[in-house]
Amino acid sequence: MNKKYILRAVKYLIRLVLLFCVLFGVMLATGTTTLSAENFFAEFFGQTKGQIFTAIVLIWCAFYPRVEFIAMPVGIRLGDHRANIIEAMQSLGMTLTEESNETMTFRSASPLSRAWQMWEDAVEVRTTANGGIEVAGSRKNVSNALFKIKLYAERES
């Protein structure tokens, strides 16, 4: 495992813990929990159910980067459709932040969106060995980018 993989898994664990804390806080505020804030950890982690839940969350976080981050090929060339790619990504709220001969990196224009994705919002459009391009990043961003890039490339054809 590389450093980036471990960092993504830890970021996702932090995100889940924060979500769980917010959920428990809402439950405390509305009175929909039988536990008090003082004995929550003893009750939750002292019982088998809480330990199993924690183990499942840790296992899911360990495999999350492998499931969430993908690279998908597109049947077009970067040089031929550069303007279409930039326009498609801008329609998704992404801005071009880095560019080289073979790679274009886009990031979300919204700071709130970037923070929610724990600064893992980058989408790379890069040239492959066979001359086409592939889009790499989180599954949701790649799926949206593929759809828009193909749509904008077909529109020009």
DSSP 40-104: HHHHHHHSHHHHHHHHHHHHHHHHHHHHHEEEEEESS-TTTSHHHHHHHHHHTTEEEEEE-SSEE
Given this model, what pLDDT does residue 54 score? 87
Given this model, what pLDDT does residue 56 score? 92
pLDDT value at 140 more than 90? no
Query: What's the chain's average pLDDT?
Result: 85
Q: What is the number of residues in the chain?
A: 157
pLDDT value at 156 more than 90? no
Question: Quick one: tokens of 53?
Answer: 């839940």
Total-model pTM: 0.71
pLDDT value at 106 more than 90? yes
More confident site: 40 or 59: 59
Given this model, what pLDDT does residue 75 score? 78
Q: What is the pLDDT of residues 111-131, one digit of tens each?
A: 898 888 888 888 888 888 777
Given this model, what pLDDT does residue 77 score? 75
CB 123, CB 89: distance < 8 Å: yes
Given this model, what pLDDT does residue 59 score? 92
Give the domain ranges of the chain. Answer: 3-67, 75-156
Q: What are the φ and ψ backbone dihedral angles of 122, each rounded to 5 degrees?
A: -65, 135
Given this model, what pLDDT does residue 103 score? 86
Question: Quick one: tokens of 137?
Answer: 């990043």
CB 116, CB 98: distance < 8 Å: no
Distances (CA, A) of 65 to 2, 3, 97, 104: 11, 12, 23, 22
pLDDT value at 79 more than 90? no
Question: Quick one: tokens of 109?
Answer: 């224009």
Given this model, what pLDDT does residue 42 score? 78
Task: Say if domain 75-156 classifies as CATH 3.30.565.
Answer: no
Given this model, what pLDDT does residue 1 score? 58
Which region among 12-26, 43-57, 69-83 has the lowest average model confidence (pLDDT)?
Answer: 69-83
